[in-house]
Amino acid sequence: MTCSRWKYGRIGRTARREVIERFAPVLYLHPRDRYRPGCVEDYLEGVCLRLDRKHTRDKPVLDRVNCATRLLGHYVDRQHSDRSYPSRYFLEVAGNRTQRETTRRGNLDRARCYAHMRHAPGSISRWDIQYLFFYPFNGRLGAGGAHEGDWEHITVRVNHYADRIEKVYFSAHHHEGRWSYERSALNPAGYAVGATCGHDGNQHVRVWVAKHSHACYPEPGRHPRHAFMLPHGGLHDTIGDLLPDDTAAESEPAATTWDCAGCLEDLTEHTQPWLRYSGLWGEVGQMFSGPYGPAHQPWWYDDDAARLPFPSAIQFLSRNNCCSDVIYETTDDAGQYLTDTLRRDFEAAGVRSLLCRNVRRGVTIRMYDHPDPGSAGDRAVIRIKRPVDYLYIDHLEPDGSDARTVIRENDVFRTELTRVNGLAGRLAGVYID
């Protein structure tokens, strides 16, 4: 490719098409995952647009016929465009049970691989080529995780002349994606791990797709995930993992292969009406909802921005449910002493569980039913042993009516719950060290 085709950092439509085809990925889908990639147009023919309204029934906006037309692109929330307020529009799979399952399963024969080309953030000498895969349904993961409308992607970073791969970003579970660029015996030229030379002489990136979650990985097999630990109080008295490890196909022959080179669609010029739609691509749920469209995601502009951790937060919840009301939220800063100002709120609503997001190692949270921590009353002491992205403690006192102390510990956290006459959500003193 000659320098003149890249003059002033711009690229024409024909040259862009050549580059997109040159590095188009090959996906290896898990053989036991019945939810396959699909085509956006097919999905829109099986969904309706609704407006989420709290404390009342959702409002119908567009039926299945009108969702499949250019009308969907008109539903752009001004609030969401400046990222100050989330959109309340969402797409919901419609029809009877058979029709819904048909829509959710996708169709690999009609699936499209969507491409988006941009300058690498902060650089005019490199290019990013994003390859997007749309799955009508994300399967169940452990205790949850199922949702409609699943967008996944990889980003291939190439040099200025777009003739060499420098590294590849594999997306996985919001901020769990990673760049891969190590040299290996299979790629002595230094291409990203997973890159292979195709029959057409181009460098196609190989992607192994995890079962149900559809997370992208540069190699097959099992992939451990970040901690999301839950002590199941009186249910089993054990430590459970709500976010199971991802599992991709163990080998190429066992996987279903999808070569994206023959089914590419370019999104770079934003000509598709559905790309402007700013709502959710799946039904709103208590724990999991469909994602926003690609053009309304941080990774559309910068994959590293999508990897930034959530702000630190410690939330005191009103019930034994991670989706219950937040009575109070604070950070993991040491030296906090929460008593008089919050005592009335805590006693009125009752604190039953605790949710921690992006909490640092060594944080200790002490909760008492008396302002004096030296008193011999009910208390709960939680110590974080290593950094956690998401940690939910579903009980703050032992089960039963007997006075006792119960200690639970694993490699992530330690809880010491002491019952005297029952905490019952009444917190009079909270200390964060």
Choosing from 252, 282, 306, the residue where a domain stops is 306
Confidence of residue 337 (pLDDT cuts 50, 70, 90): confident
Task: Name the residue with higher pLDDT: 99 or 403.
Answer: 99
Residues 108 and 166 in one domain: yes
Residues 281 and 357 in one domain: no
Mean pLDDT over 412-430 rounds to 81
Mean pLDDT over 105-115 rounds to 94
On the question of pLDDT at 306 being above 50, the answer is yes
Residues 419 and 344 in one domain: yes
258 bridge partner residues = 27
DSSP run (H or E) holding 50: strand 47-51
Report percent pLDDT > 90 for the chain: 17
Mean pLDDT over 23-40 rounds to 91
Check if the beta carbon of residue 346 is closer than 8 Å to that of residue 317: no
Q: For position 17, what pLDDT does the model report?
A: 92
- pTM, rounded to two decimals: 0.65
Highest averaged pLDDT of the listed ranges 108-112, 214-218, 286-290, 343-347:
108-112
User: In this structure, how many other beta carbons lie within 10 angstroms of the beta carbon of residue 319?
Assistant: 15
> Which residue type sits at 321?
N
Q: Shortest CA distance to 306 belongs to which of 160, 210, 179, 157?
A: 179
Mean pLDDT over 383-407 rounds to 79
CA distance linking residue 399 with residue 396, whole number of Å: 9
Residues 141 and 90 in one domain: yes
Domain hosting residue 340, numbered range: 313-432
Residues 103 and 154 in one domain: yes
On the question of pLDDT at 309 being above 90, the answer is no
Task: Name the residue with higher pLDDT: 61 or 421.
Answer: 61
Mean pLDDT over 179-186 rounds to 52
Q: For position 383, what pLDDT does the model report?
A: 93
CB under 8 Å to 167, separation ≥6 — which residues? Answer: 157, 179, 180, 181, 192
Residues 231 and 363 in one domain: no
Confidence of residue 393 (pLDDT cuts 50, 70, 90): confident
Residues 124 and 29 in one domain: yes
* CA dist list (Å): 384 to 387, 389, 412: 7, 11, 6
Residues 359 and 279 in one domain: no
Residues 258 and 396 in one domain: no
Confidence of residue 79 (pLDDT cuts 50, 70, 90): very low
- Tell me how many domains the chain contains: 2
Structure tokens, 44: 């829109």
Residues 119 and 207 in one domain: yes
187 bridge partner residues = 184
Choosing from 276, 306, 336, the residue where a domain stops is 306
Residues 269 and 323 in one domain: no
Check if the beta carbon of residue 46 is closer than 8 Å to that of residue 93: yes
Residues 300 and 324 in one domain: no
Choosing from 282, 306, 330, the residue where a domain stops is 306
